[in-house]
Amino acid sequence: MPCQVKPVSDNAIALAPYAACDTNSRGRQYKEPPPDYRSEYQRDRDRIVHSAAFRRLEYKTQVFVNHEGDMFRTRLTHSIEVAQIGRSIARVLHLNEDLTEAITLAHDLGHTPFGHAGQDALNRCMKEYGGFEHNLQSLRVVDTLEERYAGFSGLNLTYETREGILKHCSPRVAAQLGALGERFLQRQQPGLEAQLSNVADEIAYNNHDVDDGLRAGLITIEQLDEVRLFQQQYEIVISQYPALTMRRIIHEVVRRMINCQVTDLIETSRERIAAANPRGIDEVRTAPASLIGFSATMQDFNIELKRFLRTHMYQHYKVRRMTNKADKVVITLFDAFLDDLQLLPPEYQTKVISQEQKNGIAGRARVVADYIAGMTDRFAISEHVRLFDISQ
């Protein structure tokens, strides 16, 4: 009997044979009774939504610092947008929507304050102690750092959700992750829901960074004329709606850009899946390449858009100023906490002592990195003021 999911309507949607099905899940790290009235992947999603790390995403930003304005996207709104895109595509491809939603909502839980600037700074701080990478930190959050349940640390999510969170991993680290790291050592693929979540993330942040960049005045319509994906949709919109205000023109163009990419992704992925004809999720994992992806033309469009954003937005002098400040905040906090653990809250002092006994200075540094990575933008700024502003 095919695995089915029950949506809000009365019509059950049969999952494709290569989709993830919770009745065939590889399970959880700690065995639990099956949930009542929901699937295993729904349980994962619910645990993620109720986690402290998920709530903190409200005050962690993508490109801008949280206090720079309320109109810009945060990690929380970004995660919700990725989940919406992911679920829409999963439904069309008859993949598991609940698993896709769980992965997409959890994919940024390990992000530091100040976006990629904070991650880069923290990685430099941790260079001698194993490094720092937000993708691995997201897994660490759901496996270890969340403290909510009596029977285990972390959220005890299913293998499939954890597989989707861990998008990439070095062989050195993979060797320490047991079954979860095996696919990186064997050069295998994750399930289709994980592949889909990764591309949905890319669609969301590229297009929404265009929207935020225009709103902030970091990039202009004239500059975006060199980006074919934008230029094509822009010409269509101004031709059909010549009297539309610029704000609505931008929204309409970005909406159409997303729709164009989603349509291409669905059609290309259908063709790849049909050609590979996997009979189950295990054959998806052993496929020589990802089965979810764009056509060659759309992939070129995306690369062009990424290069534009890197050059004109992420390297904009105003963003570089923020990056410079974020860099100093993260590094000075790390050095201070690593040098004097009594500056940390009592519960983190206890963790430092425990980890230092097991792993020496590297254990101490990892706890400090966990503390800083969990901060929101505004909390990191406040901590910096409390530690280094003599008037406070």
Which pLDDT tens digit goes with each residue over 270-292?
Answer: 999 999 999 999 999 999 999 99
* Same-domain pairing of 50 and 192: yes
Residues 199 and 347 both lie in one domain: no
**295 and 345 share one domain:** no
Q: How confident is the model at residue 234 (pLDDT cuts 50, 70, 90)?
A: very high
Cα-flanking dihedrals φ and ψ of residue 226, to 5°? -85, -5
Which of 185, 160, 119, 110 lies closest to 140, judged by CA?
110
Is residue 34 one of the residues assigned to a domain?
no
Residue 286 included in any domain: yes
Same domain for 229 and 82: yes
Domain that holds residue 353: 322-388
Closest CA relative to residue 126, chosen from 335, 287, 386, 378? 335
Among residues 270, 300, 319, which one ends one of the domains? 319
Among 319, 352, 379, identify where a domain stops.
Answer: 319
Q: Place 164 in a pLDDT band, splitting at 50, 70 and 90.
A: very high
- Is 158 inside any structural domain? yes
> Do both 350 and 290 map to the same domain?
no
| Inside any domain, residue 149 | yes
Q: Which of 17-21, 51-55, 210-214 has the lowest mean pLDDT?
A: 210-214
| Integer Cα distance of 323 and 124 in angstroms | 14
254 with 298, same domain: the answer is yes
Return the pLDDT at 392: 66
Task: Choose the final residue of a domain: 272, 297, 319.
Answer: 319
Residue 137: inside a domain: yes
Taking residues 170-182, what's their average pLDDT? 91
Tell me the pLDDT tens digit for each residue of 191-221. Answer: 999 999 999 999 999 999 999 899 888 999 9
Confidence of residue 10 (pLDDT cuts 50, 70, 90): very low
Confidence band (pLDDT; 50, 70, 90) for 322? confident
Q: What does the pLDDT read at residue 319?
A: 87
Are 378 and 298 part of one and the same domain? no
Do 219 and 362 belong to one domain? no
Q: Is the pLDDT of residue 64 over 70?
A: no
- Same domain for 23 and 154, yes or no, is yes
- pLDDT of 9 reads 37
Confidence band (pLDDT; 50, 70, 90) for 6? Answer: very low
> The pTM is what?
0.93
**What is the domain count for the chain?**
2
Q: Encode pLDDT of 76-110 as tens digits.
A: 999 999 999 999 999 999 999 999 999 999 999 99
Same domain, 202 and 266: yes
**Do residues 274 and 158 share a domain?**
yes
| pLDDT of 7 over the 80 cut | no
pLDDT of residue 230: 97
Q: Is residue 33 part of a domain?
A: no
CATH of the domain at 214: 1.10.3210.10
Sequence-separated contacts (24+) of 327-331 with Cβ below 8 Å? 327/117, 327/120, 327/121, 329/113, 329/114, 329/380, 329/381, 329/384, 330/112, 330/113, 330/114, 330/118, 330/121, 330/122, 330/125, 330/372, 330/380, 331/121, 331/124, 331/125
Q: How far apart are CA 43 and CA 157, in angstroms?
A: 8
One domain for residues 73 and 92: yes
Does residue 343 lie within any of the structural domains?
Answer: yes
Tokens 């400040």 sit on residue: 325
What mean pLDDT is reported for the chain? 92
The angle formed by the CA atoms of residues 11, 16 and 79, to the nearest 5 degrees, is 80
pLDDT for the residue numbered 323:
87
Rounded distance between C-alpha atoms, residue 83 and residue 97, angstroms? 9
